[in-house]
Structure 1
């Protein structure tokens, strides 16, 4: 006789006890007879209700021996352990993708069926999972019940708060097996891996540019539409991306939380600090394939390439002059506005460009850092050295 004599007539599952079969049947009928007395959430099985009650009591008796994290349910601990072992026992029969959790497989299967049965009654958006709908609803209510005890930021989802906490702890548990880079979030690791594979599945229908991430494509599309939905409440400036607005806001607050350990310079953005560090290390990883010139920043290489192609994409709206680099356009515009924000503390002369001020200061200090390799003459400005070199080469480009 079978150890599991009680069979479900719908799906064929078998159970040792009839009570287990009766509990199982609620998964087919949708019946949820067990309700939480605290929040009213209904559950199909009494065991699910008991597990749920721990979310109210805070009881987490199941601890991970690897990292020390604790969980309210044993099943959650077992799923968590797979993040350490890498085990993915649940496979998709359609495309072969493997998952560490059965729930993840079930969510994945909806990408093949396209099923989105959960609909928002306010805006009509539809979702494959009820949890996604509930998360979406918080956008309408503005509810953010989960607060960070370190900085006070609040979030709609507890998972988002837990991810946010990594910005304070510096935890980066997800490592790239190719180059060793580590990341706080698994999604960032997956995005990073596309740099190694070169996979760019998301293409722009306007210009054909392709991107590794759909979010990057959506941001790119705004360069065609000119959409700038994120506005600064202080000065009214608008931005295509929220991250750009947040960066801009620091120009009003003066916040510069990222400091250089070498020279104590401080910056509003971590990316700016990382770029600044190259001025100390001398690192120039971006090289021109035409002339071999190397640059610390990729943007400088792209601007430099215009000197080979002759491309001058930046136009002055006043006089229609064109420039290879955007910075050159900004400097040129000051010739129309008369703006000279850079003043010399020694003689009160003022200049439109900081580089011109720095060159001018050398007339006071007597510094001549640019030397001729032919006759050893030295000059305060690089442009003067270039003009001098023509006396050796007999180059006279402006002769009639």
Structure 2
């Protein structure tokens, strides 16, 4: 250790020989030196974590005792240290003292600015050792690693569902509370998640940002696009444990499982008929209401189901998409072709 010979000698006379940092007291320099030596003399007797400074250990102990001595006077939230309270207060004041020199975005926390800057630099310093994916923030890597380990440490106290990230529990709870804080300004529909509302808005704007490079089909959300791509790749990642049938998406598997369980969760309030799928009860209700929303542009015939109208249109177009593999006869309906195939079976 040596005294600084720079102009700040009177204010910070003690300098670090390793990095040049200067300090007002010999004690502060000694604490700083632990960064270089790796010394952590203060250890937690409960979990064994060690620290370079005693105040840091005292703060850590509050994670075990649950003590939160710093309280917000506005909303009664409490915190284990003063710095967290200061940062929290900015949610009330709107203060964002850390600004990006590139785009002008401002942040309440310095670490958020540091992470944001990586969107400009492209830096992703946190890498996954399993699949080599890289991330701009350490917590993104931590959350990603759970896709490999299967760990879901955050659980819903109501139904027991578990999640990889704490935020997802927060959003999930709205299923139980019924809260839908995000509303569409066009039609008034409300949503549990902001992202759901943004995707919904594309119904009104007509935006379909996800396009298939193979067939040109476009989609308003990434999920539908991903499922569509499986029609080209043939991938069916969701398999039935009972009969082995596989499906392109989880919803189709869930519906299929009802053929094994016999579950029919959608019931008609008029006649008591029950159905495995919501769309089936919607179609069934038209037998009671007389509604026929699908109309033929040629002859004005109307139908309760879109598929029935498509089949009807073939009378006008003379399209016969179903072809017999044996004699090349063609048919407008699949069931008619199957019945025809039996004539060959009988002949054989």
Provide the residue aligned with 1:373 in structure 2. Answer: none
Contact 2:44 2:61 in 1 (8 A): no
Deviations 1:281-317 (A, max 9, x none): 2222233334333232334444544555555556677
Corresponding residue to 2:172 among 192, 209, 227: 192
Residue 225 of structure 1 and its aligned partner are, at CA, apart by: 1.0
Provide the residue aligned with 2:185 in structure 1. Answer: 205
> Structure 2: any 5+ residue segments left out of the alignment?
1-14, 21-27
Contact 1:173 1:183 in 2 (8 A): yes
Provide the residue aligned with 1:229 in structure 2. Answer: 209
Residue 355 of structure 1 and its aligned partner are, at CA, apart by: 6.4
Query: What does 1:208-219 align with in structure 2 at a 5 Å threshold?
Result: 208-219=188-199
Deviations 1:324-370 (A, max 9, x none): 5555566566667766555555765555666666677788899xxxx
SS in 2 for 1:192: helix
Corresponding residue to 2:152 among 159, 162, 172: 172
Query: What does 1:157-306 align with in structure 2 at a 5 Å threshold?
Result: 157-306=137-286
Provide the residue aligned with 2:9 in structure 1. Answer: none
In 1, Cα distance between equivalents of 2:339 and 2:301: 25
Contact 2:210 2:218 in 1 (8 A): yes
Residue 208 of structure 1 and its aligned partner are, at CA, apart by: 1.0
Deviations 1:179-224 (A, max 9, x none): 2222222222211111111111221111111112222111111111
In 2, Cα distance between equivalents of 1:214 and 1:365: 57
In 1, Cα distance between equivalents of 2:83 and 2:342: 68
Residue 174 of structure 1 and its aligned partner are, at CA, apart by: 1.9
Residue 130 of structure 1 and its aligned partner are, at CA, apart by: 3.0
The TM-score with structure 2 as length reference comes to 0.69
Corresponding residue to 1:144 among 124, 128, 132: 124
SS in 1 for 2:254: helix
In 1, Cα distance between equivalents of 2:50 and 2:323: 62
Which range moves more in the overlay, 161-170 or 191-200? 161-170
Query: What does 1:1-400 align with in structure 2 at a 5 Å threshold?
Result: 82=63, 91-97=71-77, 105-310=85-290, 324-325=304-305, 328=308
| Higher RCO (CA-CA < 8 Å; seq separation 6+) | 2
> Structure 1: any 5+ residue segments left out of the alignment?
1-32, 55-60, 367-400
In 1, Cα distance between equivalents of 2:272 and 2:238: 33
Deviations 1:215-269 (A, max 9, x none): 2111111111111223334443322222333333333333323222222222333
SS in 2 for 1:219: helix
- Residues 224/281 of structure 1: CA separation in 2 closer, same or farther (3 Å cut): same
In 2, Cα distance between equivalents of 1:294 and 1:326: 21
RMSD: 4.9
Q: How many residues end up aligned between the 2 structures?
A: 323
Contact 2:155 2:161 in 1 (8 A): yes
- Residues 202/172 of structure 1: CA separation in 2 closer, same or farther (3 Å cut): same
Contact 1:63 1:71 in 2 (8 A): no
In 2, Cα distance between equivalents of 1:313 and 1:53: 77
SS in 1 for 2:227: helix
- Residues 96/138 of structure 1: CA separation in 2 closer, same or farther (3 Å cut): same
Contact 1:91 1:98 in 2 (8 A): yes
Contact 2:78 2:85 in 1 (8 A): yes
